[in-house]
Amino acid sequence: MNCADLKVQFDAYLEGHADDASRRAVEEHLAACPDCYELLLSSDDELDSLLRSDWYSEAPSARFLHGVMMRVEKPAGFAPVLWLLPIWLLYTAMAAGLSLWIVVGNSILGVSLADLMSFIRSSRAVAMSLAQALRFLDINEAAVFMLFALSAASLAVIGHLGKEVLSWGKD
């Protein structure tokens, strides 16, 4: 099919009256011929110019600009300290701390992991808060450092408590 053939068959194609062979031929030509495609797309000047305007623009909230500048001007913070730590140690400590919190929550408070996951899934607000918290951790090394310290402290406290419990049996 050439460009002239396309113009003859295109109306039937658009109206859904074209047979399978003609439909395939039109689609193959449109896929292979950028000129025909552009011509057809821009044949309606009024709609095309409207679509190329900023119809999608929408003013964000008043705090938007401030939020962007905060994110690009983040302080160096604890980064030099953080980079001295092996990354595997950081993640291991965080995972261990989280696991221990879940185990303690389960055994003492009766909160199972399934309950926790169900709660998170059921609450979009909580999910959004978590996403924001993760983003905050991603951009703020000080927060990551604090979480690491908190996880390490949890390990130490639980280890100490475990030692005490074991020592009771000996007394």
The 10 Å Cβ neighbour count of residue 78 is 16
Q: What share of the chain is helix, strand, coil (3-state, %, to 5)?
A: 80, 0, 20
**Could you give the CA distance from residue 89 to residue 167 in angstroms, rounded to a whole number?**
29
When asked if residue 3 is in the footprint of other proteins (CB under 8 A), the reply is no
When asked if residue 53 is in the footprint of other proteins (CB under 8 A), the reply is yes
The 10 Å Cβ neighbour count of residue 144 is 20
Task: Compare residues 39 and 157 and give the one whose CB is closer to other proteins.
Answer: 39
Q: Binder to other proteins among 37, 78, 101, 145 (CB under 8 A)?
A: 37
Site string for other proteins, 105-134 (x = CB under 8 A): -----------------------x--xx--
CB neighbour list of residue 116: distance below 8 Å, 6 or more residues apart: 102, 105
When asked if residue 51 is in the footprint of other proteins (CB under 8 A), the reply is yes
**Where do contacts with other proteins occur on this chain (CB under 8 A)?**
14, 27-28, 30-31, 37, 40-41, 44, 47-48, 50-61, 64-65, 67-69, 71-73, 128, 131-132, 135
